[in-house]
Structure 1
Amino acid sequence: MGDSILDTGNNNYIVTMSKFNFPPYGKNFPGKIPTGRPSDGRLISDFVVEILGIKYLLPSYLDPNLGVEDLVTGVCFASAGSGYDRETPKILVTTFYLYFLLFVSGALPVPYQLKLFKQYVKKLRTLVGEQRSDDIIKNSLYVISLGNNDVGLTYFLRKKKSDMASYSSFLVSQASATLRQLYGLGVRNIVHLSTIVTGCVPASRTLFGGVRRQCNDESNELAMMYNKKLSNEIERLNNDVRLPNSSIVFVDVYYPLFNMIRYPENYGFAITKKACCGTGTVEFGILCNPLAPTCTNISKYIFWDGVHPTEKTYKIIFSKIGKSVDKLLRKQL
């Protein structure tokens, strides 16, 4: 479940402006194929199944070509543009800034992602039987990334109705309810990612960072507040006697990315304020298209487009997640 950090192509099959199934997306993907992943290559979702020795790529659940083996070994329910706030997936924003248009629209809301998961469980039971399907659900690892679009965009559209403290608490309450629902469906092992540094993505710098394109401190402050509250709530859930045998791990990806932005040379990067696609200031989705030029050396860029990191960045971030995956697996043993 999640947003564009994890979506391996579900948005290809829904009506949305948040699509990434055209060049130059996938420029570093095997075969240079644009699969709907919002990056130049693979995502964290793919690295998780690879490190577990399951498969090289995690398919999207809505892919009509899914086979039995795909369902048995894992699929992705995430949708780029989604969030814990039910208003987030509905947003259609048109922001005029330096002659660019920024669109976010039509993602699968969390309740619908849960509905798809329930549908998946039924399919799995039909394919492999109730006992085996229950074992698969119970022993599988689930990675969640939600909150990025809420704190990076939705809050700024509704902040007159909500302050940071109340909005971050609202998001965490939604997260807690979602985690409990997953537990009720048999899920036991979850890794929940923090938000990234939402105020430092190129589009946020362009739209909210002034002429010097500084990080949007307000967005980062909200992200940190949400991340801290979410971490505390996950700790509380792990100690809840009503959720026996559950293992929920909070993984901070905010500071690993922030450190890359602050000290890019330590990670082999050189460009932090601009993305590889187009002007590097705001383009993503339909604005990062076959007509948009791309940088000549992607490895020097932290961001692929105005919102999303490059595959190289994700690989570095994943080293943190990999430790959490190992932690969960050891606990199971």
Structure 2
Amino acid sequence: MKLHMLWLVFVLIVVETNATKQGKNATIPALIVFGDSIMDTGNNNNLPTLLKCNFPPYGKDFISGLATGRFSDGRVPSDLIAEKLGLAKTLPAYMNRNLKPKDLLKGVTFASGGTGYDPLTAKIMSVISVWDQLTYFKEYISKIKKNFGEEKAQNILDNSFFVVVSSSNDLAHTYLAQSHRYDRTSYANFLADSAVKFVRELHKLGARKIGVFSAVPVGCVPLQRTVFGGIFTRGCNKPLNNMAKQFNSRLSPALDSLDKELDGIILYIDVYDTLFDMIQHPKRYGFVVADRGCCGIGSLAISYMCNSLNPFTCSNSSAYIFWDSYHPTERAYQVIVDKLLDKYLSKVI
């Protein structure tokens, strides 16, 4: 009897050790991402759009200092989440022409900088709408089936983590073009309802573990401060932040209802409070500058306005919350991802 018990303990130790080596997230085979520039790792590079960033100083803190089409000094959340899941240090852009079938296995991002839930947003910016990203996702699953079989494709659908991030471009830009049809509240509600519709469509295509990011305090990005925050004070654009909060207040309970209705897991991931607190109290998080970006003079520079000819780009981007006038630095993204995934990841593994 004692020998039997010793053998059982030995087996349990071996199993636990193997699980530790594999990591807690060994059950998640891939990360699949939809959305905008926050998650884009290069899908805009070959599009006929002005919203590109595959040139220096973008990527100055990326692996080998390469400008890959990520709207930051280094990696973006799609990369950092993939690393957190134990999949890879970077997540490939689906539109990368050099992708091989094996590169698809651990996931991809379909995100396109400048897009939104409102189809008009992508149309204005000549980028990939989130709805077209679903079409590319269907193509992706077909490629998995063709190259690796039905069982592998089903495993990816059943067990991968699907992340959706959008709304900032709709709120900050497209609303002005839609203001003849909507007031601020009704437009925010329209976007939230569109996000829920997107999740339903994604679920119909087989996704079962879906996390949807809230809107961020987009009124506090340096560009909004410069244009709407007052010449001297450069405060946050409060009406825009209120729209973001209205979007969130509509989205959160709707996703909770969807989680109860559909099989699988539907998560609302609150990004607003974390980023807003970082911006209001940068020193708590080890940052020095919160109201300007590192690139150029940091007040208006974005995309082609943030370039290697500008002599004012900071040397220490990790001291800044924002890289350009719209997008956070890799270090800021890392703080957000660590905090959010520590809170939410246990629900999907």
CA RMSD of aligned residues (A): 1.2
Gaps of 5+ in 2: 1-33
Q: Which amino acid aligns with 2:302?
A: F
Q: Is the aligned partner of 1:284 residue 2:302?
A: yes
* Structure 1: stretches of 5+ with no match in the other structure: 92-104
Q: 2-side partners of 1:150 and 1:180: how far apart?
A: 20
CA distance in 2, matches of 1:136, 1:158: 38
Which residue in 1 is equivalent to 2:155? 135
Partner of residue 280, structure 2: 262
CA deviation string 1:129-168 (max 9, x = no partner)? 1122111121100111011111122113322321122111
SS of 2:297's partner is coil
The code of the aligned residue for 1:82 comes to T
> Hey, what does 1:40 align to over in structure 2?
73
- How many matched pairs? 314
Residue 167 of structure 1: aligned partner: 187
Match of 1:230 in 2: 251
Q: For 1:190 and 1:311, how far apart are their aligned partners in 2? A: 24
Matches within 5 A, 1:97-246: 105-211=125-231, 212-240=233-261, 243-244=262-263, 246=264
Separation in structure 2 between the aligned mates of residue 302 and residue 29 of structure 1, nearest angstrom: 16
Aligned to 2:35: 2
In 2: Cα distance, 1:329 partner to 1:4 partner: 24
What letter is aligned with 1:202?
Answer: P
Give the distance between the partners of 2:179 and 2:230, measured in 1 at CA: 20
**Does the aligned pair in 2 maintain the 1:12–1:21 contact within 8 Å?**
yes
- Conserved in 2, the CA contact under 8 Å of 1:251 and 1:324? no
The answer for the alignment partner of 2:322 in structure 1 is 303
Partner of 2:12: none
Deviations 1:94-121 (A, max 9, x none): xxxxxxxxxxx21201121111001111
Q: Tell which structure's C-alpha radius of gyration is larger.
A: 2
How far the C-alpha of 1:67 sits from its partner, in A, is 1.8
Between structures 1 and 2, the one with greater strand share: 2
Name 1:319's counterpart in structure 2.
338
Contact persistence 1:189–1:328 (CA under 8 A):
no
Q: Deviations over 1:49-72 (max 9, x none)?
A: 111111110000011111222111
Instruction: Measure, in 1, the Cα distance between the counterparts of 2:343 and 2:129.
Output: 26
Identity of paired residues, percent? 43
Report what 1:251 is aligned to: 269
Could you tell me how far apart the structure 2 residues matched to 1:306 and 1:50 are? 26
* Aligned-residue offset at 1:285: 0.3
Residue 323 of structure 1 and its aligned partner are, at CA, apart by 2.2
CA deviations over 1:176-226 (Å, ceiling 9, x no partner): 111111111110001111122100000111111121211100110000110
For 2:200, give the aligned amino acid. R
For residue 290 of structure 1, give the secondary structure of its aligned residue in structure 2: coil
Q: Which amino acid in structure 2 is aligned with residue 328 of structure 1?
A: K
5 Å-filtered alignment, 1:29-108, equals: 29-91=62-124, 105-108=125-128
**More displaced stretch, 227-236 vs 164-173:** 164-173
The TM-score, its normalising length taken from structure 1, stands at: 0.92
What is the CA distance between 1:7 and its match in structure 2?
0.5
Secondary structure of 2:113 counterpart: coil
* Contact 1:176 1:233 survives alignment (8 Å): yes
Structure 1 counterpart of 2:256, one-letter code: E
TM-score normalised by L of structure 2 = 0.88
Q: Tell me, what secondary structure is at the counterpart of 2:268?
A: strand
